[in-house]
Structure 1
Amino acid sequence: MTAIAETSPPSAVPAVDSTNRLCVRLWLYAVLVTLFALVIVGGATRLTDSGLSITEWKPIHGVIPPLSEAEWQEELEKYRQIPEYQQVNKGMSLDAFKTIYWWEWGHRLLARGVGFVFALPLAFFWLTGRLERRLKPKLLGILGLGALQGAIGWWMVASGLVDRVDVSQYRLATHLTIACVIFAAVMVVARGLAPHSGGRAVPRVQSFAGWLVFAVLVQIYLGGLVAGLDAGMTYNTWPLMDGAIIPQGLFAQSPAWLNLFENPKTVQFVHRLGAYALLLLAVWHCVETWRGAPGSTHARRAVVLLLLICIQAAIGIATLLMVVPLGWALAHQAMALVVLGFAAAHWRAAKGAYPPETRVELRS
């Protein structure tokens, strides 16, 4: 009689070889590239005020764009019914409408593409036995987050179709943050499958690296609020804001907490504070990691992370001073993803690679 059971390494044999890990990892890297493109196109869609150009949610039929002049006129007529057209873009020509339509259509097409790039290979790896058991719940969780993100995307768009001329900043920030959570989760799984040369870091370094990932996500959420309120278009000076280190009128609205989400001045100021806090955390992490293990792989990665955050801060300041030109704003968003991805990979590396999944035959 033969049975299969989990056991400790001594008499164990690898159940999943390094080739399978490499294939899964390369697939996840392809997912990361697609997600990166999706977030950048989403940023361009917001910055060009294109997000409300498609007023219906058609997950299947919506993949086909207008193919005739009559269909384009029909889409434009739907757009004419919403407040953004009536109060902001009244009289927009068909050619101008096509420009904003293509941005939103491209964003939605990429979102569908991410679903296929993730789900189809997942099914293949799963059904052919190439996935380690520990990965299955993680990857199913990411797939579920992706489905939720699609619903959140429409929930965001719907907020701008009736009483507003743009989408809710709350929903925009949520949509952006969930996309970044998915990006970070995919990076963590991919990095856990990669060979690790540095071993595991000490627990305090692992913990701090994890909190840095959380801090980056919080800063991205704050950036989503800034984008949703167009708060970066005002107070375009640095280091002073409205002529002061701490500007007046931060809590002009009542109740006071509302200013953190709806007062453009307060939202931009808090985003600035978040950047300073993240930079200080990265400096502290770098010093502590280097002090504990000078010259180690983890210490060198902490230095790289600090440098990436400094570059991101410089791009953010330049974007603000130039009053948010499209190219610089997209560079700022792209660099935020680079920082997040590296922080997530650094955290997973500090915890070490996933141990090989093993099985052993027990004979009786």
Structure 2
Amino acid sequence: MSQKRNIFEEVGEQSASKPAPKGGMIDQGRGGARRGIRAWLMVLFAMVVVMVVVGGLTRLTDSGLSITEWRPVTGAIPPLNEADWQSEFDKYKQIDQWAIDNQWMTLEDFKFIYWWEWGHRQIGRVIGLVWAVGFFGFLAARKIPVGWTGRLAFIGGLGGLQGAVGWWMVASGVTSGEGVTTVASYRLATHLGLAFVILGFIAWYVMLLGREERELMQARRQKEARLFGLSTGWLHLAFLQILLGALVAGIDAGRSFTDWPWMQDQFFPPEAFDITPVWRNFFENAGLVQFIHRMVGYVLLAFSVMAFVKGRKSAHAATRAAFTAAFIAVIAQIVLGIYTVVTAAPWNIAIVHQVFAILVFALILRARFLAAHPIVASLRG
């Protein structure tokens, strides 16, 4: 005769004997060292920011042409004795910048600008090393989440391209007998623009890795398409203004017209099209370049007000806060830009203005991310 069994005991026994249910395809996206990769990307982001700042200081100290050769490997070793230093100084004496602007320099003066450029290039090498160690380390350990290998490799590819663009920029100023004493402003803008592209992709990946795939998939269903499109335009307009700022910096146009809101007591700068052919004025005429930078700044301000008003109507508190933060940053950057102009762009103010551009770019990108992947709060929350 079978023994009478307790129904609660049966349930307990069955639940203990059955294996735990396996997650579906969504849960597989959690695989890999998401937190570790995110931390690694955050380190890379910080290093690229430092690279941009040091690059700006290198330009402000007119140090960018002190190293006249591109040696990706052997260039990591600085001059080790006086003979090496003299050799580097002799190479510098062969270019127009020394012949036209810096014949007063002694070897000690040259060392000052050399160390700035060497440090800038060295940071680039360290960034490449940190990327390679992290990427191949996670790859060898099979800790990269599904679908992320290409993204992380893409970051490394952009870094390699940036190194080549950096030399392409420097090469435009390493001339002899052509009367060129600085790098081409449009190449400087390309170099800085690519740095912001790299920062943008890293920041986007950091934000994606900060949330689980299941949560991201649910968030995409709540995507606010209009806000996403608006923030995309906002981001592109801010990026354009950053490129124009690089053109201004490349020819020191910020020190040419130091009154605001006028330019030498008039709305449109004098002699705006004096350079021939005409197209060169858009890159080399200080008055016209600064004028365009100012006008786009006003357009950015108007667009930012619209984005702020629309963003405040979001159904999600985090998204509203993100649009507000980005708007405040834009206002602060515009005020700082005006102050930079009226003070004739001293190096410390100019570099803060550049750092704030990174902040503005990152905050607009965050607003865009939250428009696409809103954080859905419960009614109780």
TM-score (norm 2): 0.85
2:300 paired with 1:278: yes
The counterpart of 2:202, out of the listed 174, 178, 186, is 186
The counterpart of 2:49, out of the listed 36, 41, 55, is 36
The residue that corresponds to 1:226 in the other structure is: 248
Shift of 1:216: 1.6
The counterpart of 1:269, out of the listed 291, 305, 309, is 291
SS class of match (2:259): coil
| CA distance in structure 1 between the partners assigned to 2:238 and 2:26 by the alignment | 40
**Letter aligned with residue 69 of structure 1:** E
CA RMSD of aligned residues (A): 2.2
Superimposed CA distance per residue, residues 44-89 of structure 1 (whole angstroms, 9 cap, x where no aligned partner): 0001100000011111111111111111111111111111001100
Superimposed CA distance per residue, residues 285-304 of structure 1 (whole angstroms, 9 cap, x where no aligned partner): 111121343x7211111010
| CA distance in structure 2 between the partners assigned to 1:236 and 1:203 by the alignment | 42
> Percent identity over the alignment?
38
1:118-133 correspondence runs (5 A): 118-133=131-146
Q: Is the 8 A contact 2:185 2:247 kept in 1?
A: yes
| CA distance in structure 2 between the partners assigned to 1:115 and 1:93 by the alignment | 34
2:319 paired with 1:298: yes
Q: Is the 8 A contact 1:201 1:298 kept in 2?
A: no
Greater RCO, 1 or 2 (C-alpha within 8 Å, sep 6+): 1
**Letter aligned with residue 266 of structure 1:** L
The residue that corresponds to 1:359 in the other structure is: none
2:197 paired with 1:175: no
Q: Does 319-328 or 337-346 show the bigger shift?
A: 337-346
Shift of 1:132: 2.2
| CA distance in structure 1 between the partners assigned to 2:194 and 2:129 by the alignment | 18
1:134-149 correspondence runs (5 A): 134-149=147-162
Unaligned runs of 5+ in 2: 1-21, 375-381
Q: Is the 8 A contact 1:298 1:350 kept in 2?
A: yes
> In 2 relative to 1, CA 54–142 (structure 1 residues): closer, same or farther, beyond 3 Å?
same
The residue that corresponds to 1:86 in the other structure is: 99
Q: Is the 8 A contact 1:181 1:217 kept in 2?
A: no
**Letter aligned with residue 335 of structure 1:** F
The residue that corresponds to 2:368 in the other structure is: 347
TM-score (norm 1): 0.89
The residue that corresponds to 1:206 in the other structure is: 228
1:11-90 correspondence runs (5 A): 11-12=24-25, 14-17=27-30, 20-90=33-103
> In 2 relative to 1, CA 292–351 (structure 1 residues): closer, same or farther, beyond 3 Å?
closer
Q: Is the 8 A contact 2:33 2:145 kept in 1?
A: no
Shift of 1:268: 0.5
| CA distance in structure 2 between the partners assigned to 1:72 and 1:221 by the alignment | 35
The residue that corresponds to 2:116 in the other structure is: 103
| CA distance in structure 2 between the partners assigned to 1:335 and 1:13 by the alignment | 38
> In 2 relative to 1, CA 312–125 (structure 1 residues): closer, same or farther, beyond 3 Å?
same
Shift of 1:277: 1.4
Shift of 1:283: 1.1
| CA distance in structure 1 between the partners assigned to 2:314 and 2:53 by the alignment | 38
Q: Is the 8 A contact 2:60 2:347 kept in 1?
A: yes
**Letter aligned with residue 204 of structure 1:** R
1:241-280 correspondence runs (5 A): 241-280=263-302
Shift of 1:346: 2.2
| CA distance in structure 1 between the partners assigned to 2:130 and 2:361 by the alignment | 21
> In 2 relative to 1, CA 181–45 (structure 1 residues): closer, same or farther, beyond 3 Å?
same
Superimposed CA distance per residue, residues 299-338 of structure 1 (whole angstroms, 9 cap, x where no aligned partner): 1110100100111111111111111111111101111111
The counterpart of 1:150, out of the listed 145, 149, 163, is 163
The residue that corresponds to 2:258 in the other structure is: 236
| CA distance in structure 1 between the partners assigned to 2:148 and 2:362 by the alignment | 19
**Letter aligned with residue 233 of structure 1:** R
The counterpart of 2:130, out of the listed 107, 117, 121, is 117
| CA distance in structure 1 between the partners assigned to 2:255 and 2:96 by the alignment | 22
SS class of match (1:89): coil
Shift of 1:348: 2.0
- Count, aligned residues: 345
Shift of 1:247: 3.0
> In 2 relative to 1, CA 91–13 (structure 1 residues): closer, same or farther, beyond 3 Å?
closer
Q: Does 47-56 or 187-196 show the bigger shift?
A: 187-196
1:298-337 correspondence runs (5 A): 298-337=319-358
Shift of 1:153: 0.6
Q: Is the 8 A contact 2:158 2:198 kept in 1?
A: yes
